[in-house]
């Protein structure tokens, strides 16, 4: 049976992650409060951020930015797309 969480992003009970997706306290918080579906939403958002801002995830500055955006995306509701972003699906 799958582990269920009350997903903070989706606002409903959903299937939880199989393991911590990120180290430290933020990873623990995500594991406990974020569903697999919401995590996939973050991965898409993160990919868009990396592409739009031309980030190199191995650089400490880029990793710090992505971690801050992850925190906003899940817990403060402040994650936004770059102003220049054009959705290719529209």
**In this predicted structure, what is the pLDDT of residue 73?**
94
Q: What is the pLDDT of residue 2?
A: 84
Of all residues in the chain, what percent carry a pLDDT higher than 70?
Answer: 89
Which tokens in the block code for residue 12?
């409903």
pLDDT (tens digit per residue) in 44-87? 999 999 999 999 999 999 999 999 999 999 998 777 777 666 66
CATH number belonging to domain 4-76: 1.10.3880.10
Q: Please, what is the average pLDDT of the chain?
A: 90
pTM of the full predicted structure?
0.86
**For the chain, what are the domain ranges?**
4-76
């Amino acid at each position: 049976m799958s582990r269920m969480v009350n997903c903070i992003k989706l606002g409903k009970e959903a299937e939880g992650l199989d393991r911590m997706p990120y180290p430290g306290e933020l990873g623990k918080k995500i594991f406990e409060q974020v569903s697999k579906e919401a995590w996939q939403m973050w991965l898409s958002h993160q990919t868009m951020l990396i592409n739009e801002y031309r980030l190199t995830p191995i650089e400490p500055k880029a990793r710090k930015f992505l971690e801050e955006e992850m925190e906003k995306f899940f817990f403060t509701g402040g994650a936004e797309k770059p102003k220049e972003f054009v959705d290719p699906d529209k």
